[in-house]
Amino acid sequence: MIPLIRTLEMTLLDTLELTPLIEALIFAADGPIKAERMAGALEIDQNEIMLAIEALREDYAEQPRGFFLQEVAGGYQLRTRPEYADYLRKLGHSRPFKFSRPALETLAIIAYRQPVTRAEIEYLRGVDSGSVLKTLLEKRLVRILGKKDVPGKPMIYGTTREFLELFGLPDLSSLPTLKEFSELLPGDENEVYTERLPLLVNDDIIEDDN
C-alpha cells in the first residue's frame, strides 16, 4: 500500500485516514454506492473520494483478499472473488431452517389442534393447504397419526419429536398457550380467542414416535 499523504490544509481527512472510512462506507452500503454520495455524506470533495478509492484498489491488488472492488452501475461495491463461487453456493444451501408464513400457520394449527384432519386445517386457514402439509411431512415436523373414524376416513395429523426439538420443547404440554400470549397485549380485544385454546393435548400422541 502506497500512503498518499496530502498536505492540503482544506481537507479534514487525508487519504490515509480516508481510505478505511471509504472502505467502511462501501462495505456497509446496501448496493453499489456512488462517489458523489460518499462525498456528500463526508462533506468533502469528490476528488478526495476518488483518491481513496484508488488507494483501496491498489491495496486489494497487492495482497490477496476475499473480495475486490467493483465499479458497477455508476457506483462501487465490494464483491467476493468469482473463484470462490462454488464454496459460497455450498454455504447458501446449508441455510438454517426457515418457514414461510403458510407453513408456519399450518404447523401452528397442527401443533395446537392435533389430532387434526386436512379439511379442518383448511377450514381454519381458508385456503388449500395440501402442498404446505406435504412439505411439513417431508421435513418430518408433522406426521400421519392414523385415520379418523368418520365417513371418508380422512387422515389425521400431529406433530413429531423433531417438531419438539426444533422449538426446544420437552413435550407437547409445554407449548405455550395463546391465552398467556394474548395477555401480553394491552387491552382485552384478544379475549375472544382465549376460550378456544389451548386444546387438550394428548400426551400419547407423540409417544410412539420415539
Say how many CA atoms lie within 13 Å of 125 toward its Cβ: 24
Task: Please name the residue that has the C-alpha cell 462506507.
Answer: 25
Q: Which helix (H) or strand (E) holds 113?
A: helix 101-113
Distance CA 125, CA 87 (A): 40
83 dihedral zone (left: phi>0; alpha: psi -120 to 50; beta): alpha
Among 69, 143, 172, 201, binds another protein (CB under 8 A): 143
Return all residues near 35 (Cβ < 8 A) that are at least 6 apart: 46, 49, 50, 53, 75, 76
Among 47, 58, 73, 146, binds its own copies (CB under 8 A): 146
By CB under 8 A, what part of segment 60-79 binds another protein?
70, 77-79
The site map against another protein for 155-174 (x = CB under 8 A) is: -----x----xxxxx-----
Minimum separation from the CB atom of position 78 to its own copies (A): 7
By CB under 8 A, what part of segment 4-63 binds another protein?
24, 27-31
Q: CB nearer to another protein: give 51 or 158.
A: 158
By CB under 8 A, what part of segment 123-142 binds its own copies?
130-131, 133-134, 137
By CB under 8 A, what part of segment 33-72 binds its own copies?
33, 37-38, 40-42, 63-67
